[in-house]
Structure 1
Amino acid sequence: MAESFRDPQRGGSLIVAWQIKEKTVLIVGGGAVAASRVFNALDADARVTVVAPELCPELQYRFSSAQIVWKDRKFVDADLEQADMVLTAISDVQESRRIADLCKQQRIPVNAADINDLCDFWFMSTHRDHSVQVAVSTNSKAPRLANRIRRQIASALPRGTGLAVEQIGRLRKRIREADPKPENSKRRMTWLTQLCDYWPIEQLARLDADNIDTLLDAYVQNHDPQSVKIAQDTTTSLSSSGMPSPVMQTSSTTDVHSPEPVEGKKGRLVLVGAGVGDPELLTVRAHKELKQADIVLADKLIPEPVLDIIGCEIYTARKFPGAASEAQDDLYRRGLEELAKGKRVVRLKQGDPFVYGRGGEEILFFRKHGYEPDVVPGLTSAINGPGLCGIPVTHRGVADQVLVLSGANRNGDLPTVPPFVATRTLVILMAVKRLERVMELLRQQEFPADLPVAIVERAGCTDQRTVRGTVSTIAGIVERVGHNAPGLIVAGHAVNILSDAAIQDRYLDPSTLGLHSAE
């Protein structure tokens, strides 16, 4: 049973966001390092007291503008009486050790600059953008490298990340004011989660008061946040990804023209399935094509470990709410441009391109423009996702057929579920967010209330998880333990046929153990 749990890596720090608002931070020292510590404490709304015979120019400014309290002398033991945290930034190592010992005796958290063995906590290299804070720690082993890593992370954040957080904060406050009942907290959280997961950060950053009113009205009327259309001016602007922002989008481009090929050149297009998430589960052919490509046109949901093996340019057109067709057109357009240059183009799609992946549509499109794509299939989560989590979709004497349905058709409707067949395993993709409604459809088709149901989450990724229940209990279980998208629904007697083995499996999250039998 012990093999079911991860072993700690050890050697790290417990990273937390420490709330020190209105708490007293005592800083011993008046130089540049002390000034840096003062700024960090003020940035977190702490009350700051500095003890030092002299102050550097920055601290003199902060004292003269009443940002800090200054005790013009050396440290004395009584200075600790009101302190909630102590930071030493002095050159006297012995005095720093003495102060640190006093703090430990009084259980006051202490940090001593450049003396790691005295520190209860480290200061990390941080990036601040409004309410967004990103911190990098090397556990005091390579602080200069931490700065470099932090800069690289900050440069990769979408434009407007901090503003997006501020706007979501305003919308969240408005929703709580409009719907303050505690029993509706789950609905508020679910609706905002869908908004944050699906809408691009660039679009959220553009929200204004009118947009927030529109979204609030959509919440009150229980509209899916993916379906909300935001009207602004008619100017089309580009997000940081180069895609037209759907906030400003007023029309879509449906006619994609094929550019004239460069003389003597004709590109090659390969449609590649990325499989279920783990790059080791790519086919040998898929791996080869990704390595030989001149450019890869990738779906939004391709996992980072798969993208990491690609050495050429990766172009991703993210499918934003209200702009899925525009994103698809953008991929078509870029593909034709690169093919006209004689490039080797890989169109990388999640799972298998022909299992609810619009692979057939893309074949027909490029064929119309004179290119016949090669196809490299990938493992589909519909079959392999359950298998990775200990659920065989067929099993002798239990399940002799599999039905795969999509929970997100062209019009956003739920699938048509046929009547219950005891020996059939039903797999529904892209429908976990509407789990309760899906279970109602199953009950209408006489699926037994105690029929096993599993939610397979992030199949093939290192954090994949299985949540088990029945037709009557699974919605409540998922509401309690939460959901990590993307996921799929599996219903049928095969779900628990290997349940004892599945519980021992490393992929099964310990928080869900026994739920299928206890609920």
Structure 2
Amino acid sequence: MAETFRQPQGGGSLIVAWQAKARSILIVGGGPVAASRVFNALEADAHVTVVAPELCAELAHRAAAKQIAWRERRFEDADVEAADMVLTAIGDAHESRRIAALCRLRRIPVNAADINELCDFWFMSTHRDHSVQIAVSTNSKAPRLANRIRRQIASALPRGTGLAVEQIGRLRKRIREADPAPASSKRRMTWLTQLCDYWPVEQLAALDSDNIDSLLDAYVQNHDPQRVCIANGATSHPLPPPPPPPLSASSASSSGIPSPVLQAHASGALPAPATRGRLVLVGAGVGDPELLTVRAHRALESADIVLADKLIPEPVLAIIGCEIYTARKFPGAANEAQDDLFRRALEELGRGRCVVRLKQGDPFVYGRGAEEVLFFRAHGYEAEVVPGLTSAINGPGLCGIPVTHRGVADQVLVLSGANRNGDLPAVPPFVATRTLVILMAVKRLGQIVALLGRTGHPPDLPVAIVERAGCADQRTVRATLATIVAVVECAGHNAPGLIVAGHAVNVLSDAAIQDRYLDPSSLGLHSAECSG
């Protein structure tokens, strides 16, 4: 009989949700890591005290707003006396060990940032959507990988999951008030279980007060929860959309033909093809296949082969039914990758095939699309151009940032983070009503911030990093010009991304938090990704 029970694996952590409301949490340190710990504690309604000689911008803001108590000095042993939990976020490992020892003498749980053996518990990578909290732990072995896993889990959640939980919570409370008898416990649980298991999360999220009243009546009258009238008047379970078709062929491997083949084409050394193919230059847009144009869809359906940039998102590739050849683009080898695609395109066109050259975003917005048109024109092929949504305008929009807004921003300036020689862009003097969008520049964020400072952009100017716009795991990190570097250092970066600077950044920040694609933990000067 004992063999039927699960065997513990060991090596894990005891995962719990600690009720910290009104508990006293002491945080030693005043930098970005301490700020992330403070935010987590405030989210749990704890009373927070910070001990540090100086505070970073975020903690200074919270102290001024009376969200935390600040002891403007170094740690003293007596500080732990009233604490229910102690967190250290300082660079002095010896002092962290001493504080941890004090806490253990008093049986106070303690966490020391970046010193695993001192920690009674870890901070996990968390996703928060109203009352829904998802936490991923790698037991401090791979915090960055935990962040990636957490984003993948969060992106798979149905839209409106947090709102659905809130609405079901309201309904559950109403039902308990209407039928409080202990003997009704099983009936309440069974009815709500059937409701939650049957109806799509999106429709549960759309419940309003009238819907909840109707559902309460349905419970009282013992109506089947699968047949009641729910949000939007639906009375039957909608079918889910069909999955996208799988790829019919994986990306082909290179045949190793060097770039002199291109030179041979250019010099006329190769014979003209007996049949001529068709070339279509297609913009893949911002990552979501539903945001491809109808014309782009038709081009992909008619293609014999698609030559794709390396950064084309998998959901877009997944709708392609023909052979896909992906550019072998690596850092420092962009020209070689371009030559490789040119070579393959000329080969396929020479066979009379329909070739779709699939480029991310819009080919003519920092996509080298015009260069490709000129190259193929020189070899006798006129490309049909199908524009795509550019991340410069639509990426911010998908993440709740309008690049223009009446009375706030009346102009947009789009720049590349580096010219052909790798130099920084030429940024004009600051204009308060301008939104600045800088592509391909997040890796040079510190240099960009310094450049904007030299051109008169104020330290409190709102700044956002928009990552993987249009993909399921898109994310927005918001801060100011003075704090964005520290915030990104704490939160990490997931390419591709762009920088948006200007007062339009925060116009819709409150509304944007309702979108599941916008991680609420990254709105403001903090990030849940500083832990692991």
Aligned residue number for residue 451 of structure 1:
461
Q: CA deviation at 1:371?
A: 0.8
Query: Is the 8 Å Cα contact of residues 389 and 456 (structure 1) preserved in structure 2?
Result: yes
> 1:151 — aligned with what?
none
List alignment gaps of at least 5 residues for structure 2. Answer: 11-91, 94-113, 115-143, 145-250, 528-532
- Contact persistence 2:284–2:312 (CA under 8 A): yes
Aligned counterparts of 1:334 and 1:297: Cα–Cα separation in 2: 8
Matched, 1:260 2:260: no
Is 1:471 paired with 2:481? yes
- The answer as to 2:108 corresponding to 1:96 is no
CA pair 294-109 structure 1, distance change in 2 beyond 3 A: closer
Instruction: Write the distance in 2 (CA, Å) between the matches of 1:429 and 1:378.
Output: 16
**Counterpart check, 1:489 vs 2:396:** no
In structure 1, the residue matched to 2:435 is 425
Please give the alpha-carbon distance, in whole angstroms, between the structure 2 residues aligned to 1:257 and 1:352. 27
Give the match's secondary structure for 2:265: coil
Rounded to whole Å, the distance in 2 between the matches of 1:366 and 1:491 is 37
Letter in 2 for 1:472: A
**Of 241, 244, 264, the match for 2:253:** 241
Superposed counterparts of 1:18-97, under 5 Å? 94=1, 96-97=3-4
Q: Percent identity?
A: 75
Structure 2 counterpart of 1:405, which letter? L
| 1:255 aligned counterpart, secondary structure | helix
CA distance in 1, matches of 2:433, 2:497: 23
Distance 1:253 1:406 in 2: 31
2:307 to 293, 297, 310: 297
Aligned ranges 1:79-228 → 2 under 5 Å: 94=1, 96-97=3-4, 100=5, 108-109=8-9
> How far is the alpha carbon of 1:262 from its aligned partner?
3.7
**1:109 Cα shift?**
4.5
Partner of 1:331: 341
Query: For residue 360 of structure 1, what is the aligned residue in structure 2?
Result: 370
- Distance in 1 (CA, whole Å) between partners of 2:336 and 2:480 is 40
* Residue type of the alignment partner of 1:242: S
- Shift in Å at residue 312 of structure 1? 1.0
Whole-angstrom distance in 2 between the partners of 1:95 and 1:393: 64
Distance 1:398 1:95, change over 3 A: closer
Q: 1:426 to 1:244 in 2, by over 3 A?
A: farther
Shift of 1:504: 2.2
Q: Deviations over 1:106-142 (max 9, x none)?
A: xx449xxxxxxxxxxxxxxxxxxxxxxxxxxxxxxxx
State the alpha-carbon separation in 2 of the partners of residues 397 and 243 from structure 1.
56
Match of 1:306 among 313, 316, 319: 316
Distance in 2, Cα, partners of 1:450 & 1:487? 22
Q: 1:316 aligns with which of 323, 326, 330?
A: 326
Q: 1:260·1:340 contact (CA, 8 Å) conserved in 2?
A: no
Q: What TM-score do the two structures reach when normalised by structure 2?
A: 0.51
CA distance in 2, matches of 1:421, 1:254: 46
User: Partners of 1:462 and 1:435 in 2: how far apart?
Assistant: 24
Structure-2 change in CA distance of 1:257 and 1:419 (3 Å): same
Deviation at 1:434, TM superposition (A): 1.2
* 388 and 329 in structure 1: CA distance in 2 versus 1, 3 angstrom threshold: same
Q: Distance in 2 between matches of 1:371 and 1:445?
A: 44
Aligned residues of 2:307 and 2:357 also touching (Cα < 8 A): yes
Considering Cα pairs closer than 8 Å and 6+ residues apart, tell me whether 1 or 2 has the greater RCO: 2
Cα separation, 1, equivalents of 2:262 and 2:415: 28
Displaced runs of 4 or more, over 3 A: 251-254, 258-262
The runs of 5 or more residues in structure 1 that have no matched partner are 1-93, 111-180, 186-192, 194-238
1:175-197 superposed Cα distances (whole Å, 9 cap, x missing partner): xxxxxx99xx9xxxxxxx9xxxx
RMSD between superposed Cα atoms in Å: 2.8
Superposed, 1:339-378 pairs within 5 Å as 339-378=349-388
- TM-score by length of structure 1 reads 0.52
Cα distance, 1:252 vs. partner? 7.8
